[in-house]
Amino acid sequence: MYGWIWRALPGSLAIRVFTAVVLAGLAAVVLWYLVFPWIEPRISLDPAVVGR
Amino acid sequence: MLRVAGDLSITAGLVVLLFCAYLLWGTGSYTARQQILLQREFVQKEKTALGPIRLGGAVAMLKIPRLGDDYRYAVVEGVDPDRLRMGPGHYPGTAMPGKIGNFVLSGHRTTYAAPFNRIDELQPGDPLVVDTREARYTYRVTDKRIVDPAEVDVIAPVPGRPGRKPAKAMITLSTCHPEYSAAQRLIVFGELDERRDRLERPE
């Protein structure tokens, strides 16, 4: 999968490394700011109260 | 085929790792923003007379010198998940700060800025300073216990003795225990030691 993406990236090695880093960063940002905040309240972790 | 499965497994592992990092550090930024709003609201309210307290509003300011001079949280009214994301919460229906009965607070241990992360370090006699609009109440830690999550007796007006009529002003802090687990609850008890009426706004 990653091999296929890597080969599909255009340009020289430097440009491909740069694009790969940007894509990975973009995926991380989407997870951190959109996916995780949405998922976290739906799974109850770190409960602090007694009796529920 | 096997190659793709391997790639996906590694990706899933990385995503879970990133999610753990988010829980520990990412959630704190939400609490930090909410605390700024709550503390601002609290200081503004200070100028007016004692008004009704709404859910989610700031009830008091909690300071615990043992956990650092800058340890300072606005306590919200309510302990449902949405409130606890903003900071330590006051159980609705339990005593208000300084009043006879049990002033019960709950706070996260590891996520959302983890306000009660280090309350296990509290020693008997340590001050728990609660600033309200009318006074500063200083409670002193009396005891620490680890209990089952179902043990609601600890938040009774007389902690551990449900049904008993309270004669003293107590404070109870609850958080999860052990750290990163939901198995038990860590409870810290305290008793009101001093009340100082407020002449000025809190610093």
Boundaries of every domain in chain B: 2-197
B90, B136, B176, B177: the catalytic one is B176
Q: How far does A7 lie from chain B, in Å, by closest CA? A: 15
Does the structural domain B2-197 have CATH classification 1.10.490.10? no
In a domain, A52, yes or no: no
Q: Which residues of A touch B15 (CB under 8 A)?
A: 31
Least confident of B21-25, B29-33, B86-90, B195-199: B195-199
How many structural domains are present in chain A? 1
Token pair of A48 as six digits: 């602090």
A40, A41, A48 ranked by CB distance to B106: nearest: A48
Token pair of B158 as six digits: 């007389």
C-alpha B137/C-alpha B88 separation (Å) is 17
Query: Do A50 and B155 make contact, defined as CB atoms within 8 angstroms?
Result: yes
Q: Is B20 in the active site? A: no
In a domain, A15, yes or no: yes
pTM: 0.84
A with B: how many residue pairs have Cβ under 8 Å apart?
77
Q: Is B201 in the active site? A: no
> Which residues are CB-neighbours of B174 under 8 A, at least 6 positions away?
A48, A49, A50, B104, B105, B106, B107, B116, B154, B155, B185, B186, B187, B188
Q: Is the pLDDT of residue B49 over 60?
A: no
Q: What confidence tens digit (pLDDT) does each residue in B173-194 have?
A: 999 989 888 889 999 999 999 9
Q: Which residues of A touch B113 (CB under 8 A)?
A: none
Closest residue by Cα to residue B147 from B188, B191, B95, B106: B188
Longest dimension (CA), chain A: 61
Q: Is B176 in the active site? A: yes
Other beta carbons less than 10 A from residue B200's beta carbon: 6
C-alpha B128/C-alpha B141 separation (Å) is 7
Q: In this predicted model, which residue has the larger pLDDT, A52 or A14? A: A14
In a domain, A46, yes or no: no
Burial class (CB in 10 A: 0-12, 13-18, 19+), B56: middle
**Which residues from A are below 8 Å from B when comparing CB atoms?**
1-3, 28, 31-32, 36-37, 39-41, 44-51
| Banded model confidence at residue B197, pLDDT cuts 50, 70, 90 | confident
C-alpha B173/C-alpha A43 separation (Å) is 23
Query: Do A46 and B91 make contact, defined as CB atoms within 8 angstroms?
Result: no
In a domain, A47, yes or no: no
